């Protein structure tokens, strides 16, 4: 908690303090963090640095061939169903990002040659924002976005 | 105890797998409404999905995935009766796995 208080003083932001506590209590517990889990990407506070850490590039071309299925209005931000599908070829990974969340990168899916580029899950959204899907296909990054209006934010607090 | 429910269905040459995992998925940012203390982060970090011992998809998650996560994905090459195994590991090092057959 000392860490949290110091951060609140430093940054004048309760949010930043909360992240500090998260790091101190859970994420940094010794010997428990998975080697494969891309900590830098998942802790990044903005989309370009998350993408850079995850996929090795921070920019992506907008592609209408990525289809995002998500509600126009989500009454409960804690449970927003999102489906990402694309007809792009050689898809090796798909990432789902909620642009206004404190840590925007929500999920990353590594596909194999057997996979069909389709993933569906349910995500938390802090507030009305774009849900961004980033697809890595043939070594190039593509993205598309869909705005979701959130009535009640789902990140607690 | 955390558990995983799996449904795998074959249609044509595509197998659609749907699964539900029981997990609190705490981001570490939420406060306990009674004590005002932050609830420590506790979320699934990695989900590995296997078809006949071959990995068909790996998912990496943050705490931004909803509580009791739902995951659906598709792959080619499955046959009726083939085993599907799904295993997750969370940030506390806990893990769970379950398997089912394609119907």
Q: What is the CATH number of the domain that holds B19?
A: 2.60.40.10
Q: Out of A31, A34, A124, whose CB is closest to B89?
A: A34
Partner-chain contact B71 A36, CB within 8 Å: no
The minimum CA-CA distance between B78 and chain A, rounded to whole Å, is: 9
CB atoms near residue A139 (< 10 Å): 10
Tell whether B65 is within 8 A of chain A (Cβ): yes
Task: Give domain status of residue B14, yes or no.
Answer: yes
What is the Cα–Cα distance from A105 to A45, expressed in whole angstroms?
9
* Any domain includes B48: yes
The answer to whether the beta carbons of residues A77 and A155 sit under 8 Å apart is yes
Q: Which of B89, B29, B26, B38 lies closest to B63, judged by CA? A: B26
Is the Cβ of A40 closer than 8 Å to some Cβ of chain B? no
Lowest-confidence pick of A16-30, A141-155, B1-15, B86-100: A16-30
Indicate the helix (H) or strand (E) that contains A8: helix A2-11
Domain of A104, in residue numbers = 57-152
| Cα A118 to Cα A4, A5, A122, A128, distances in angstroms | 39, 43, 14, 24
Count of structural domains within chain A: 1
**Quick check: A121 contacting B, CB < 8 Å?**
yes
Structurally, chain B folds into a number of domains equal to: 1
Q: How far is CA A126 from CA A36, A152, B48, B86, in A?
A: 27, 8, 27, 29
Tell me, yes or no, whether A5 lies in a domain.
Answer: no
Residue A88 domain flag: yes
Lowest mean pLDDT among A28-32, A67-71, A115-119: A28-32
Nearest by CB: A108 against B14, B60, B73: B60
If you compute the radius of gyration of chain B from its CA atoms, what whole number of angstroms results? 15
Residue B31 within any structural domain of the chain: no
- Domain span holding position B22: 4-26+39-101
CATH number at residue A122: 2.60.40.2470
Which value does ipTM take for this structure?
Answer: 0.91
A94 touches chain B (CB under 8 A): no
**Per-residue model confidence as pLDDT tens digits over A12-41:** 444 444 444 444 444 444 333 444 688 889
């Amino acid at each position: 908690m000392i860490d949290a208080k110091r951060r609140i003083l430093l940054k004048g932001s309760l949010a930043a303090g909360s992240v500090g506590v998260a790091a101190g209590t859970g994420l940094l517990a010794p010997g428990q963090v998975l080697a494969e889990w891309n900590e830098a990407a998942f802790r990044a506070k903005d989309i370009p640095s998350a993408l850079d850490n995850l996929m090795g590039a921070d920019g992506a071309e907008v592609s209408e061939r990525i289809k995002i299925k998500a509600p126009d209005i989500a009454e409960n931000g804690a449970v927003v169903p999102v489906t990402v599908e694309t007809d792009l070829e050689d898809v090796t990974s798909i990432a789902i990002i909620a642009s206004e969340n404190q840590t925007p990168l929500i999920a990353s899916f590594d596909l194999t040659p057997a996979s069909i580029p389709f993933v569906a899950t349910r995500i938390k959204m802090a507030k009305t924002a774009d849900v961004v899907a980033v697809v890595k296909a043939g070594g190039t990054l593509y993205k598309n976005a869909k705005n979701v209006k959130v009535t009640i934010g789902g990140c607690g607090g | 105890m955390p558990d995983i429910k799996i449904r795998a269905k074959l249609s044509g040459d595509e197998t659609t797998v749907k699964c539900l995992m029981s997990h609190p998925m705490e981001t570490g940012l939420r406060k306990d409404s009674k004590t005002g203390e932050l609830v420590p982060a506790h979320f699934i970090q990695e989900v590995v999905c296997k078809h006949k011992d071959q990995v068909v998809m790996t998912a990496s998650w943050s705490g931004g995935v909803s509580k009791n996560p739902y995951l659906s994905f598709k792959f080619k090459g499955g046959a009726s009766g083939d085993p599907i195994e799904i295993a997750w590991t969370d940030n506390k090092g806990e893990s769970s796995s379950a398997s089912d057959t394609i119907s």
